[in-house]
Amino acid sequence: MFSQEFIKQIVELYKTGKRKSEIMREYELSSSTLARWIKQSKKHVHSNTQIT
């Protein structure tokens, strides 16, 4: 399980232009995990819902 802070940091890296492949390699994440976090972050921009 990843902390909410870690997930936010990863999503922010993506939003600021880091490629998905670089993030996955650097942080040893699967493509499905990263894609889910990005998708959920877009849905929850204006809420306090946690991303899992």
List, for residues 1-35, the tens digit of each pLDDT value. Answer: 899 999 999 999 999 999 999 999 999 999 999 99
pLDDT of the residue at 38: 96
Residues 10 and 27: beta-carbon distance below 8 Å: yes
3-class secondary-structure state, position 18: coil
- pLDDT-derived band at 50, boundaries 50, 70, 90: low
Distance between CA 20 and CA 9 in Å, rounded? 13
51 vs 30, more confident: 30
Residue 47 pLDDT greater than 70, yes or no: no
Residue 49 pLDDT greater than 90, yes or no: no
Q: CA nearest 37: which of 15, 1, 5, 8?
A: 8
> What are the structure tokens assigned to 3, written together?
């902390």
Residues 10 and 19: beta-carbon distance below 8 Å: no
Residue 48 pLDDT greater than 70, yes or no: no
- CA 36 to chain centroid, in Å, comes to 7
